[in-house]
């Protein structure tokens, strides 16, 4: 491995944290909407409200704690606190299975995510060496590998203990604690007190480069039509008429996502982040048109595979793109502001998707998302 492609030890440790956290989180992520709708009797609109509200809270906190980590010049402490809070929230729906508890635990989990995300991503950027795409791609790969293993464990448990969703919430607590243990090994990269920023993230935005502001506009517009993945799971369940197949499709997506993240990240270091991100937008459009118009069970596997490549081409790439534009001492604020804006937009998009699904059927919101993302891909491609 060349010096440029070498992954720092701290990046590997952060990858392990995300690996075990996502085993826990993704045991619950595909199960929770089914648990809400099939067991607790929730409507689609309520699923959208729960997911959207949780993401909104996370988004608000990402901006604040990203900025705070820059001001203090310390990031690892927020990583530990954030992952710990998420871990504590995991088993509660298994102990008290009702809609308010599910809502509260989703909010608590997202608060933890809001505390840790921007400081963690700033740390990843600080440990890159002209290979930000590879660094963020590696991290997404580890994160998503856990996301593939988690639902598989959930399916095994459901096969052994049919419809015992409570057990899954309890078991998810174990990998969460392992993840928290790894956070204790994370070290900050020193930032001198002279370089630490004193600006709020609003002041930072006003003085930030135009190229960064353009990325924010792009991410905001796309996030409005990029609703929660729970709707893909529920749509695939409707097509396949099987909750197990829907979860298997989600597992397959995560396997492709994990396998593609590092290669796509490395490719973005060579071809440019904008080009790879645009390719991802086109794939997203193809996938959503496919989910909207197809009723073929076998085509679902192709769509989930393409969705995995789309995610690998956009999720980590957007953060690497920002990391290339912003110096280390401001990186937490920059990434925090971006995740705040996208989180608010995802919240609005999830709420709108739930309402449109209930009123016009599942096809309509998928066609809207596919059309808008395709237009955005052309705008980005031809924008210098």
> Looking at residue 49, what is its pLDDT?
72
Residue 15 above 50 pLDDT? yes
126-171 per-position pLDDT tens digit: 888 878 888 999 999 998 899 889 888 888 888 888 878 778 888 9
Has residue 193 been placed in a domain? Answer: no
Is position 141 within any domain? Answer: yes
Angle, helix 76-89 to helix 9-28, in steps of 10 degrees: 20
Q: Between these two residues, 214 and 33, which has the higher pLDDT value?
A: 214
Examine the pLDDT at 17 and tell me if it is beyond 90: yes
Residue 129 lies in a domain: yes
- Distances in whole angstroms, Cα of residue 325 to Cα of each of 197, 318, 321: 16, 11, 7
**pLDDT at position 3, please?**
45
pLDDT of residue 194: 58
The pLDDT, as a whole number, for residue 70 is 83
- Tell me which residue of 244, 201, 163, 222 sits closest to 68, measured CA to CA: 201
| Burial annotation 17-31 (CB, 10 A radius, 16+ → b, else e) | bbbbbbbbbbbbbbb
Structural domain boundaries, residue 157: 9-187+201-382
- Residue 337: pLDDT over 60: yes
Is 311 within the bounds of a domain?
yes
192 inside domain: no
Q: Which residues contact 237 (CB under 8 A, 6 or more apart)?
A: 34, 243, 245, 246
Q: What is the mean pLDDT of the chain?
A: 84
Distance CA 103, CA 30 (A): 15
32-41, 85-94, 170-179, 349-358 — which is least confidently predicted? 32-41
CATH of the domain at 135: 1.20.1250.20
- Assess if residue 1 is contained within a domain: no
pTM for this structure?
Answer: 0.80
Whether the pLDDT of residue 192 is over 60: the answer is no
64 lies in some domain = yes
Q: Which of 108-117, 196-205, 235-244 has the highest mean pLDDT?
A: 108-117
CA atoms within 13 Å, Cβ hemisphere of 208: 27
Q: Does some domain include residue 4?
A: no
As for how many domains the chain has, the answer is: 1
């Amino acid at each position: 491995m060349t010096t440029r492609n070498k992954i720092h030890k701290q990046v590997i440790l952060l990858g392990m944290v995300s690996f075990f956290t996502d085993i826990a989180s993704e045991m619950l992520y595909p199960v929770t909407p089914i648990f809400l709708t099939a067991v607790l009797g929730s409507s689609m609109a309520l699923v959208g409200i729960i997911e959207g509200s949780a993401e909104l809270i996370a988004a608000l906190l990402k901006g604040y704690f990203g900025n705070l980590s820059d001001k203090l010049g310390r990031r690892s402490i927020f990583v530990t606190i954030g992952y710990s809070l998420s871990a504590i929230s995991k088993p509660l729906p298994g102990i008290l299975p009702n809609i308010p508890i599910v809502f509260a635990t989703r909010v608590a989990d997202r608060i933890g995510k809001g505390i840790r995300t921007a400081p963690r991503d700033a740390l990843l950027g600080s440990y890159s060496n002209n290979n930000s795409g590879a660094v963020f791609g590696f991290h997404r790969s580890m994160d998503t590998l856990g996301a593939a293993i988690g639902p598989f464990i959930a399916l095994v448990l459901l096969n052994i203990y049919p419809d015992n969703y409570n057990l899954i919430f309890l078991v998810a607590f174990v990998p969460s604690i392992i993840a928290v243990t790894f956070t204790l090994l994370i070290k900050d990269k020193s930032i001198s007190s002279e370089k630490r920023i004193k600006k709020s993230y609003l002041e930072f935005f006003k003085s930030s480069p135009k190229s960064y502001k353009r990325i924010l506009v792009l991410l905001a517009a796309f996030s409005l039509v990029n609703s929660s993945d729970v709707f893909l799971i529920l749509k695939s369940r409707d097509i396949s008429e099987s909750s197990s197949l829907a979860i298997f499709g989600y597992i397959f997506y995560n396997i492709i996502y994990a396998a593609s993240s590092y290669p796509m990240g490395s490719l973005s270091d060579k071809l440019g982040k904008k080009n790879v991100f645009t390719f991802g937008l086109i794939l997203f459009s193809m996938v959503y048109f496919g989910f909207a118009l197809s009723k073929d069970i076998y085509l679902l596997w192709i769509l989930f595979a393409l969705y995995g490549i789309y995610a690998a081409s956009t999720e980590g790439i957007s953060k690497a793109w920002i990391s290339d534009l912003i110096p280390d001492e401001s990186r937490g604020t920059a990434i925090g502001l971006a995740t705040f804006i996208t989180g608010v937009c995802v919240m609005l998009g999830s709420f709108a998707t739930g309402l449109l699904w209930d009123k016009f059927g599942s096809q309509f919101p998928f066609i809207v998302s596919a059309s808008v993302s395709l237009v955005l891909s052309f705008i980005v491609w031809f924008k210098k």
